[in-house]
Each structure stands twice: as structure tokens, then as C-alpha cells.
Chain A
């Protein structure tokens, strides 16, 4: 296919995400497949590229969380079509992640957005859901031998649970990377708990997620 048409399709995917048009995302994803654009290329340089623009709009306070959620839906709509067609050789092996919100917390918007980042990036995601008993994180990490455990808590009242999980996991496997998210989580808390990364809100999670997607996209280009 000529590069102008590839660019056009990638832009169509990106625009669909930015304009939160789920139907358009599906249509452009189908066009990508029909016309021979590599599925992983379409995800990373179409859908994920759109999400980068969304991140800028959020930074500039043009978009807020409702828009972010709808953009994420559009991204998933496109990805559902593209994902089954990803060629194994075009995706670097990223590894596995265990994700969930800790016991006592039933809010999972931030968690779901971070999950999206891992999905886009080609990780295998083990989503434990929300209000997850602490020991389940440890068990799931051991069962799957995941490299990353990502936990979210929206309230200070549930945040302390994260510290326990980190201690339990690090005692068994010090190499597991721990990511924390949620409104009460600050850099100080992440440091204090021995976490390797953090995001303090759903919006911030998006920014972190987009930064990570950008890095993955850079790596993909190299």
C-alpha cells in the first residue's frame, strides 16, 4: 500500500479516538485490515497516537474525565477489531501485569485507564477487578509470574492496604515492579511504600499512561 493511504488510515484512527467516535474507530480499523496496514502499526501509530493528542487536550483543560473515558472507549472499539490480527513478530514481548483496586475501594476508573495502557502496549493483563482482597494480588502474581503489579486506591482509607501487598510481594520476589495509582497516592507515599511508579488521579493516570505509550511507540519505531 502507498504511504499516503497508510497515513490517511492512521489519521482516521487517531481522529476517531480524539473525537470519541466509536463507530468511526471501528470503520477505520476495518479499513486498516482490509487494505493491509499492519494491525500493531494501526494500534500504536493510529489509536495510541490519538490518545497522545487526547493527553495534550487534557493538559490544556480542553478535555476532562468524561471525554477521556469516551476516547478510551473509541480506542477499545478500534482495538477489539485490530487485536486478533496482530502478528506475533510485530509485537515485542512485553510481559504480564496483575492489576486491580485494593479492598475497600470500589472505584476503578483510573485502574481501567491504566489497564488500557497495558493492553495497548501488548502486555498480558490479569485484571482482578475492584475491592480485591490484598492476598489475591500476591497469589495472582505468584500464579502468573507477572513482572508488574499495579494497584489503585481512590481513598486514603484504603491506601494502607497497598503497603502490605508490596511488602508481601517484595518478600517473595524483589524484582516485581509495583505501580500505584489513585487520588491519595503521592510521590512520598509511593516512595514510603517502596513502589516503583505512581499516578495520583484518573487524569494523571492517563498522562502517565500516555507517556508510557509514547515511550513504547518510540521503542517500536527503533
Chain B
């Protein structure tokens, strides 16, 4: 059997060309505490230096055998660049992801500085992409992600204002989401220019736990279509939570792959969109890699393959404080059972 580099494996997977085995990767952060400890730093520091971001991604991939390096890790880089600040929780002993400390109170207050790509920690992320590109000799695929327009909007405006606004003040909310869409396109195109091999758009707060399918169609879908049209392949459309009612619409947005979490019944999704569509998912990252007894991990991961995943993706960022043996079991299970073809991708 021919072997491929991790990057080639992922590139071919996205083209639905035969590969040697299923790659181990994700469209969300995969940084592990083991990598951070090996580097001798603390979690809050990792977000603040390009070298830390890049090295922790590479070290995580090397330690466990991931096929991709994915940055950044936190969802505040863009809101911070827009002027909303960031809470890094530097004093906390726990692992806490950065959050946005304050949001705009009204839609009309939101201003996008024309030079936002040069503000806040955006240059750090840029530099980390450059390091990833130069340091690992093209071995790993470089993954990037950007929040989708609705979720990005929820980072800069109170979510309940937005959710109520979609019913009470639809015209203004639509205009605001349009603005967010242009912002997302700018960031995603920028990451592609910096050399990301694939990009995931995560409009995670739009599952049907929150919004009705009808609202998804009128409010979320047109923006995602616009975004995917503006980006180069390969592109991933990721939404977490309940997605079975919108999976067909997700498939019409123009991305090469769909990513869902464990709330999605993947077998049902597969029936709806057919075998030719790349579907990634759908295990509960925290339960599987942080909590579960290691003996159960193989069953969960194999279950994703059996249900028809073309790549077994965690439904969310890996929570860094993983159990080492669980991550090893997750990788080993994909290697063990990923040698047979998946619905959309053959094997060499």
C-alpha cells in the first residue's frame, strides 16, 4: 500500500480521491495539554505568541500522530481586533479559553476598523501561519477556521438581542449579518492567502436547538452561500448541535464537506445527502477524550466510521486537558478501521 504524507492524505480526501487511510484531523483546535506541558508554558500563554501557537500545534500533531495543525485556538481574535478586548484568564489555574469581556449594546454601534487584520492578536496568528508553513516542511495539512456570521455576531453583540432581533427587527439584523458576512470573508480569505490547506466556517450557534429550519434558510444560508462562493476549496461547513433538520440546506451552501457533532444522527444525514458528500463527525470530544474510560474510546470512534463518516471529527475543539491514553486510542482506532473506504472516499 502506498503511503502518503498527512497533508497529501487530507488534500486527496477533500478531492474525494483514493487515500491510504483515514486522516486524523479536525476543523477545530486540537491543542493538547501534553504539548503545552512539553513546551514548559501555561495554557493562557499559548494564545499570545506566534511561536507558541505554531509550536503547540506541531507538538500536538507529533505527539499523537494527527495529520493536521490547526490554529488559532480561541474565538476572540477577531472580536479583539474589532476593539472588544479579550479576557485571557492568566491567573486561573484551570484551562479557560479566552472570552470577549464586553459587547456592543446596539447593532448600529458596531464598527469594523478597515485595518482590523493588523489589530489585536491578528498579526500573531498571521505569523503563526507563516511559522507553520516554514517549519514543518509541508508534512502536515494546515487547517484554519473562522466563526460564521451569526456566531461572530454573537461574539460582538449580546446573543439575546440578536435572537430576539431576528423576529422583532429582522431588516436590521439581516443588514448586520451582511456586515458580519463580509468580515468573515475577509478573515477567511486572509487565512487562505497565508497558506491554510483547508478552511472550516463554524456557524455553530445556528443549529435547530436555537433557530428554526425556516429561519436558518432565510437568515443563515444565504450568508454561508456567499462566504463559500468567495473562498477557494477545500471548504468545510461546520455547525454543532441539532442539524438533522438542516443538513440538506447545509449541503447546498457550496462547501466540499459538512461537519456535524454528536447531536446529529449521521446515518440519517447520510441517507439525506447521499454517499457522494463528505461528512465529518461526530463524536463528543470532551466525553470521549477527557472523561471516558479508555476501553470505551474505540467503540465511540468506530461507531462514527460505521455510521458513515468520511473523517472522524470531534464535534468541537478538543478540550486540551485530554487523557493521553484516550487520544492514543482515538488515533489508533482511526488507523485500524480507517483503511476501508468511507462512503465518499475510496482507498488505494
Contacts and interface: CB of A to CB of B under 8 A. Distances in A.
Contact of B96 (A64, A70, A158, A188): A158
Interface stretch (B19-27, B112-120, B163-171): B163-171
A104 B91 CA distance: 12
B310 to A, nearest CB: 25
B99 A64 contact: no
Interface in B92-120: 92, 94-97, 99-101
Interface string B68-91: 000000000000000000010100
Contacts of B209: 65, 201-203
B212 interface: yes
B319 A156 contact: yes
A160 B94 contact: yes
A70 B168 contact: yes
A136 to B, nearest CB: 14
Given A67-B167, A69-B160, A70-B168, A104 B94 contact: yes
Contacts of A112: 160
B39 interface: no
Given A69-B163, A103-B92, A131-B99, A64 B210 contact: yes
B183 to A, nearest CB: 20
Nearest to A113: B160
Interface in A139-165: 155-161, 164
Contact of A131 (B87, B160, B290): B87
A61 interface: yes
Contacts of B99: 104-106, 131
Interface string A184-208: 1010110010000000011100000
B211 interface: yes
A52 B101 CA distance: 35
Interface in B253-292: 285-287, 290-291
A189 B291 CA distance: 9
Interface in A45-91: 61, 64-67, 69-70, 73
Contacts of B215: 64, 66
A220 interface: no
Interface centre among B160, B215, B317 (most CB of A within 10 A): B160
A176 interface: no
Contact of B159 (A107, A159, A164): A107
Nearest to B103: A106
Contacts of A177: none
B210 A156 contact: no
B163 A66 contact: yes
A109 interface: yes
A157 B95 contact: yes
A90 to B, nearest CB: 31
Given A106-B100, A109-B159, A156-B316, A61 B208 contact: yes
Contacts of A159: 286
A3 B100 CA distance: 52
Contact of B210 (A65, A70, A155, A189): A65
Nearest to A107: B159
A159 to B, nearest CB: 8
> What 3 pairs across the A-B complex have the smallest Cβ distances?
A104-B96, A156-B286, A66-B163
Interface of A: 20, 61, 64-67, 69-70, 73, 103-107, 109, 112, 131, 155-161, 164, 183-184, 186, 188-189, 192, 201-203
22 contacts: A20-B167, A64-B211, A64-B215, A65-B211, A66-B164, A66-B166, A69-B164, A70-B164, A103-B92, A104-B97, A105-B99, A106-B101, A156-B285, A156-B319, A157-B319, A159-B286, A160-B321, A161-B94, A161-B96, A183-B241, A188-B291, A192-B291
